[in-house]
Chain A
């Protein structure tokens, strides 16, 4: 293998080295070294981003490197930068949080970096072997991150559930992969697509393999009925980790989903589309309805994340180029609005998981008008109300579904967005309309410059996309330059 082939791989190599360094640095520094470690982690992620921009971009047409394991295309670059952004924001949220909750930082930051490395491989992998290995690196790092506050019973429980169901879903995905391998004789996505284009088949072994792989991927994006792990994992995890695992692994899983299904299995779309259709509809309906009855804000946002996966799945169901870039656009907006919302939960949280119930938000508009306004904008975005980015991204996935003839799916999506207004506005009511004694009972905001910065950035990005979507749409459409996708 010629050494030049490793040049586009430099960002990944740098990320791995940086995580080792942080790990070793964390041993000596203890809790006092939290800020330097966090700065080091953020710095190395920024450098990785620059390296991706310098070396990871395709010269023109997409190309495969390193024995056909990875692709160099703008699709991968889009998801890599998105994952990097969420990792940076997560570290900034987590630093103050870990200090307040008295946990060490070295392993935490190293694990965020290794998870990011796994997601890089998921975003650019074009062989089922590399995709699987990247997926597992991301998953194993996330299990540990969820259980990181191991002195909290909830964190531990969340990790147990995430672990058991995550490992089971990997097993199902792998069984599907083995059946596809047996019926097509290759693990390479491009070769799979070539074989399917040459001879479309309704071979039962292949069908079963594709369906099992779809089940495995639906587990990873937490779609109903494979979502059972996610509310517990999201509620139990330390809140910055919840922010992280609710966006970055979901974005990476969607990248992998699109590569496999909209790419390699696209000739068989009529066979798998109904499965995804059903999952998308159930996810939107169940996620939103279950969120209605939640009093814990983290759990409510967990169910809302489930619902958002359902909206994004619409773009996959469409199976068109429009559908594909609408998923990219959705993931971009979703990443920032979800991290921002969880960032405010972090700011409101004190020891012992206080500050998580809806009542804790009472009277926030008087105590901290800026924070309340930020939350209002993020909730409007999550509900999909103009002029926020949430509206634009929903518009595109709905349009994709309608263009592809899935009008009922879009109707379900619109109706369920209306339902979602109810639970998002429960928080707004607490923040703005509750008066008197009840308003006094709300939680106080923690002072944490870094976390405030995260919320500010998220609000600005969400508003920018809503007001002036053109460049963002351009980036998402640029992501269509992907190997095997078109």
Chain B
């Protein structure tokens, strides 16, 4: 029991990490896209919990709302929308690229593992307080993020709003039935 209490953080992390890896494997191996999407949803939640453990409370909330609430719903919508015809013929998992991908993955894995073991990270005055500081006072993560986002990072924030506008235009351009189709069909008929 003492072991559990004293190593609670480690045990929690390993369980969450195992679940996250399991979810990721599910995303890329499950044949049915609905199952893969649910597996991805689980992974998003686990990642949100890991964010909380790293004192990124605001981001954890954003992760749940944007990813789990927004993106996943979008995915499921589209899967339901197109599944009638397209999704029956799943391509096999095996394709000519698999050996290349596996070798590449092993190489990258070995490289990064050695980097993790031998590499040096920058150090700073880490800790939860630094991530909750606003003008020298410890307020909270959301306040701190908001303060930095709307002062130093104002320009990227404005630019990213245009990115969202472009996404909206893109979805409309691709999604709507083109208004000139009817015109052309009309001409063929006349």
Direct contact of A and B (CB under 8 A): yes
Which residues in B have their C-beta under 8 angstroms from that of A68? 152
Q: Which residue from chain A places its CB closest to the CB of B175 in the assembled complex? A: A150
Q: Which residue from chain A places its CB closest to the CB of B187 in the assembled complex? A: A102
Q: Is the CB of B178 within 8 A of A151?
A: yes
Q: Is the CB of A204 within 8 A of B156?
A: no
Which residues in A have their C-beta under 8 angstroms from that of B87? none
Which residues in A have their C-beta under 8 angstroms from that of B111? 208
- Selecting from B13-21, B69-77, B159-167, the interface stretch reads B159-167
B93 on the A face (CB < 8 A): no
Q: Is the CB of B173 within 8 A of A182?
A: no
**Which B residues from 141 to 190 make CB contacts under 8 A with A?**
151-156, 158-160, 162-163, 165-167, 169-170, 172-174, 178-181, 183-184
- Shortest B149–chain A CB gap in Å is 10
A114 to B168, CA, bound (A): 13
A184 on the B face (CB < 8 A): yes
Q: List 8 interface pairs A-B (beta carbons < 8 Å), by A numbering.
A: A16-B162, A23-B169, A67-B151, A111-B169, A127-B156, A147-B173, A184-B122, A204-B114
- Shortest B111–chain A CB gap in Å is 6
A130 on the B face (CB < 8 A): yes
A129 on the B face (CB < 8 A): yes
A110 to B160, CA, bound (A): 16
Which residues in B have their C-beta under 8 angstroms from that of A117? 159, 162
A9 on the B face (CB < 8 A): yes
A467 to B69, CA, bound (A): 60
- Shortest B119–chain A CB gap in Å is 3
- Shortest B120–chain A CB gap in Å is 5
Q: Which residue from chain B places its CB closest to the CB of A113 in the assembled complex? A: B162
Q: Which residue from chain B places its CB closest to the CB of A30 in the assembled complex? A: B179
Total A residues in contact with B, Cβ cutoff 8 Å = 51
Q: Is the CB of A151 within 8 A of B151?
A: no
- Shortest A429–chain B CB gap in Å is 37
Also in contact, A102 and B170, with CB within 8 A (given A9-B155, A184-B122): no
Also in contact, A140 and B166, with CB within 8 A (given A102-B184, A205-B120): yes
**Which A residues from 154 to 198 make CB contacts under 8 A with B?**
179, 182-185
Which residues in B have their C-beta under 8 angstroms from that of A107? 169, 172-173
A133 to B172, CA, bound (A): 22
Instruction: Using A107-B172, A137-B159, A140-B163 as known contacts, list a sample of 18 further A-B pairs with CB atoms less than 8 Å apart, ordered by residue number in A.
Output: A16-B158, A20-B165, A23-B169, A67-B154, A67-B155, A69-B153, A69-B154, A102-B184, A104-B178, A137-B160, A140-B170, A143-B170, A144-B166, A150-B173, A182-B121, A182-B122, A203-B120, A204-B115
| Contact-residue size bin, chain B (C-beta under 8 Å from the other chain) | 35 or more
Q: Is the CB of A208 within 8 A of B163?
A: no
Q: Is the CB of B174 within 8 A of A114?
A: no
A66 on the B face (CB < 8 A): yes
The 5 lowest CB-CB distance pairs between A and B, nearest first, are: A205-B119, A185-B122, A67-B152, A204-B115, A144-B170
Which residues in A have their C-beta under 8 angstroms from that of B178? 103-104, 150-151
Q: Is the CB of A102 within 8 A of B183?
A: yes
Q: Is the CB of B183 within 8 A of A137?
A: no
A118 on the B face (CB < 8 A): yes
- Shortest A204–chain B CB gap in Å is 4
A416 on the B face (CB < 8 A): no
Also in contact, A130 and B159, with CB within 8 A (given A143-B170, A147-B174): yes
- Shortest B56–chain A CB gap in Å is 14
Which residues in A have their C-beta under 8 angstroms from that of B154? 1, 66-67, 69
Q: Is the CB of B159 within 8 A of A144?
A: no
Which residues in A have their C-beta under 8 angstroms from that of B114? 204
A114 to B162, CA, bound (A): 7
A184 to B123, CA, bound (A): 9
The dominant DSSP class at the A interface is: helix
Q: Which residue from chain A places its CB closest to the CB of B183 in the assembled complex? A: A102
Q: Which residue from chain B places its CB closest to the CB of A65 in the assembled complex? A: B155
A151 to B184, CA, bound (A): 12
A150 to B112, CA, bound (A): 41
Q: Which residue of B124, B152, B172 contacts A185 across the interface (Cβ within 8 Å)?
A: B124
A481 on the B face (CB < 8 A): no
Q: Which residue from chain B places its CB closest to the CB of A156 in the assembled complex? A: B174
Q: Which residue of B122, B151, B163, B169 contacts A133 across the interface (Cβ within 8 Å)?
A: B163
Which residues in B have their C-beta under 8 angstroms from that of A132? 156
A320 on the B face (CB < 8 A): no
- Shortest A166–chain B CB gap in Å is 13
- Shortest B51–chain A CB gap in Å is 14
- Shortest B95–chain A CB gap in Å is 14
Which residues in B have their C-beta under 8 angstroms from that of A208? 111-112, 115, 119
Q: Is the CB of A140 within 8 A of B167?
A: yes
A121 to B115, CA, bound (A): 32
- Shortest A76–chain B CB gap in Å is 13
A37 on the B face (CB < 8 A): no
B98 on the A face (CB < 8 A): no
B116 on the A face (CB < 8 A): yes
B82 on the A face (CB < 8 A): no
B118 on the A face (CB < 8 A): yes
A20 to B165, CA, bound (A): 9
**Which A residues from 36 to 70 make CB contacts under 8 A with B?**
66-70
Q: Which residue of A103, A114, A147 contacts B165 across the interface (Cβ within 8 Å)?
A: A114
- Shortest B163–chain A CB gap in Å is 5
Q: Which residue from chain B places its CB closest to the CB of A70 in the assembled complex? A: B155
Which residues in B have their C-beta under 8 angstroms from that of A183? 119-122
- Shortest B110–chain A CB gap in Å is 11
A207 on the B face (CB < 8 A): yes
Also in contact, A151 and B163, with CB within 8 A (given A185-B122, A208-B111): no
A31 on the B face (CB < 8 A): yes
